[in-house]
Amino acid sequence: MSRLPVCLRLPHRLFALIVAALGLLCAGPAVAQEEQSTAPYAYRQLEDPAKEEKAQALMETLRCLQCQGQSIADSDAPIAGSMRSLVRERIAAGEDPEAIRGWLIERYGDYVSYAPQLTSLTWPLFAVPAFLILLAVLLLRRRFRRGGEQ
């Protein structure tokens, strides 16, 4: 017989249950991993090098909606793969890259583009920095003129 105290002896069923629970806990992260996009052109380039170059140039200027810090060309997120495939399919069909960009902006909003459009809502984003730089130049110029007079 075993010399372990009764409180330290685990029944076989309880031991099996603990091992199974630990196995499920370890398997959780593997199940949680994202799958890659199944879109046809997500990871495959176009046959025509000129069209692929156009597609790559456009994809570099479009932001991944999931990663937010990467372009769709650099991101491995499933939505970025779907967007890459969509861009390549439309370029292959002969559509203009700016028309594709316009469609994506219409669908996902201005945030999808790294090159924001100048609209009535976005003009302050462009005007305020220019105004602040102009103000700083005027103040510095005025200060240096005063210093030279003394």
17-21, 129-133, 138-142: the lowest-pLDDT one: 17-21
**Is pLDDT at 95 greater than 70 in this prediction?**
yes
In a domain, 122, yes or no: no
In a domain, 121, yes or no: no
In a domain, 94, yes or no: yes
Task: Give the rounded percent of residues in the chain with a pLDDT score beyond 70.
Answer: 85
Report the predicted TM-score, pTM, of the whole model to 2 decimal places.
0.60
CATH no. for residue 64?
1.10.8.640
In a domain, 20, yes or no: no
- What is the total count of domains within the chain? 1
pLDDT of residue 29: 72
pLDDT of residue 32: 63
In a domain, 23, yes or no: no
115-126: per-residue pLDDT in tens?
A: 777 778 778 888
In a domain, 101, yes or no: yes
> Which residue segment(s) compose the domain that 53 sits in?
49-115
Residue 116 CB partners (closer than 8 Å, separation 6+): 110, 122, 125
In a domain, 129, yes or no: no
